[in-house]
Amino acid sequence: MPYSDLSGITSSLNIKEPEIIELHDEIFEENGVNVSMLRLDKIHPVISGNKLFKLIYFLKEAIECVNKPIITFGGAYSNHLAATAFACKQLNIKAVGIARGEKPKAISHTLQFCLQNGMHLEFISRSLYKNKDAEFLQNLKNKYEEHILIPEGGFSVLGKNGASFINNYFVDKNFTHVCLPVGTATTFAGIVDTNNNKTKIIGLGVLKNFDDIAERFTNLKVPRSKKCFFIGDYHFGGYAKETPELISFMNRFYSKHSIQLDFVYTAKMMFGTYDLISKKYFEPGSNILCIHTGGLQGNGSLAEGKIIYK
Ligand SMILES: *Cc1c(COP(=O)(O)O)cnc(C)c1O
């Protein structure tokens, strides 16, 4: 059973079991592969995707230690901040968000959402944000006393352990490959960590010059015996960058499958998967699962009309 020790939280948040759906496309047929999608984007109307899983052990701790606020970090369009704000509001946990960059005149839709959900926001300069030195952390301690600090993007062993719950949804389904987008690599590590080494787990990086996966996995305490595959070619210029090719892929994908993708993560992962299929990366007979990790609120930063579903 998924969430055996976390079911209290998922039921308080009304989290649904995600479906796995099969996708149909001539390209898949021509190359003899099956492609399915795990719809983590559908587990909840607001906190969709992988972010909830990375948060879940921190939320559990906060519920058990009443009055300890959760403090975490993110940029102006952070899915992580939005998910944290919403989950904390629902569970009556105090939440503080440290936002990257000086406070702008018009704050982003994401940060507005955080404020509406009762998150206290502090804006700090980009240089301070990047370093988060000992003095800065000490100041947080002085100001907020006892608190639960969640690293940016949930990058931590607890975040990884939470992400491994995602395996429960597909472990008994005989997929030969699982593809997912990689940001901090916490979710990737969680899925690899509890994988049986029969399924090939393929992480597709969404940042440029991603060259420290091994180090990240060591930090997250993933045993070296666990196999994984990382592909860094589909970043489209870097984190949160997009190109007309990516946007038209998102529109075509939506027209064909009626599934929305976000431009920061899931569109790059799906584009990469299609490209790898057409390049015969997967042997015929492969049964591929793509994980839709949610994050659709991020499309709010695209200009109106750019994608056909916004
Ligand atoms: C944050 C995020 C990711 C990346 O997850 P990591 O655990 O940081 O690698 C992937 N997809 C979506 C939609 C996200 O919001």
Residue ranges of domains in the chain, CATH in brackets: 4-49+157-301 (3.40.50.1100), 51-154 (3.40.50.1100)
Please check the confidence at residue 269 and state whether its pLDDT lies above 60: yes
pLDDT digits (tens, 9 = 90+) for 89-145: 999 999 999 999 999 999 999 999 999 999 999 999 999 999 888 899 899 889 998
Q: Could you tell me the distance, in angstroms and rounded to a whole number, from the CA of residue 248 to the centre of ligand 1?
A: 22
Å from CA of 142 to ligand 1 middle: 31
- The pLDDT value recorded for residue 54 is 97
Tell me the average pLDDT across 64-86. Answer: 94
Q: Would you state the pLDDT for residue 3?
A: 47
Q: In percent, how much of the chain has pLDDT > 70?
A: 98
> From the CB of 10, is ligand 1 less than 6 Å away?
no
Q: Which of 130, 144, 80 is nearest to 100 (CA)?
A: 130
CA of 50 to the centre of ligand 1 (A): 6
Return d(Cα 233, Cα 279) in angstroms, integer. Answer: 13
Q: Which residues contact 193 (CB under 8 A, 6 or more apart)?
A: 160, 161, 164, 220, 222, 223, 226
What is the average pLDDT value for the chain, to the nearest integer?
94
pLDDT above 90 (res 263): yes
Judged against a pLDDT cut of 70, whether residue 4 lies above it is answered with: no
Ligand 1 midpoint to CA 184 (Å): 7
Tell me the mean pLDDT in the region 276-298.
Answer: 97
How close is the Cα of 152 to the center of ligand 1, in Å?
11
What is d(CA 127, CA 195) in angstroms, rounded to the nearest whole number?
A: 38
Residue 78 CB less than 6 A away from ligand 1: no
Rounded to the nearest whole angstrom, what is the distance from the C-alpha of residue 49 to the centroid of ligand 1? 8
Atom number, ligand 1, closest to the C-alpha of residue 184: 8
| Range with lowest mean pLDDT among 64-68, 198-202, 203-207, 231-235 | 64-68
- Residue 188 Cβ contacting ligand 1 at under 6 Å: yes
Closest residue by Cα to residue 186 from 6, 58, 7: 58
Q: Is 266 in the pocket of ligand 1 (CB under 6 A)?
A: yes
Reported confidence tier of residue 5, pLDDT bands at 50, 70, 90: low
Asked if residue 1 has pLDDT above 60, the reply is: no
Q: What is the pLDDT of residue 257?
A: 98
- Supply the pTM of this predicted model: 0.96
Does 181 sit in the ligand 1 pocket, CB within 6 Å? Answer: yes
Q: How confident is the model at residue 2 (pLDDT cuts 50, 70, 90)?
A: very low
Nearest Cα residue to 268 out of 242, 244, 294: 242
Q: Which pair of tokens denotes residue 111? A: 């940060």
Mean pLDDT calculated for residue range 55-77:
93
CB of 294 within 6 A of ligand 1: the answer is yes
> Ligand 1 within 6 A of 53 CB?
no
Taking residue 265's Cβ as centre, other Cβ atoms within 10 Å add up to: 27
Residue with the smallest CA separation from ligand 1 atom 15 is: 295
Q: Per-residue confidence at 48, pLDDT binned at 50, 70, 90?
A: confident
For position 37, what pLDDT does the model report?
98
Mean of pLDDT values over 172-177: 96
**What average pLDDT does this structure show over 170-182?**
96
Residue-level pLDDT at 30? 98
Q: Which residues of 242-260 are buried (b: 16+ CB within 10 A; e: fewer)?
A: beeebbebbeebbeeeebb
Q: Is the CB of 49 inside a 6 Å radius of any atom of ligand 1?
A: yes
Torsion of CA 85, 88, 93, 99, to 10 degrees: -20
Is the CB of residue 41 below 6 angstroms from any atom belonging to ligand 1? no
Place of tokens 């519920």: 63
Tens of pLDDT, residue by residue over 130-150, are 988 889 989 988 999 899 999
pLDDT score of 304: 92
Number of Cβ atoms within 10 Å of the Cβ of 149: 18
* Contact assessment for residue 77 and residue 240, using Cβ atoms and an 8 Å cutoff: yes
Please identify, by atom number, the ligand 1 atom nearest to the C-alpha of residue 180. Answer: 10
Mutate-to-test residue for ligand 1 from 79, 155, 217, 301, highest number of ligand atoms within 8 A of CB = 79
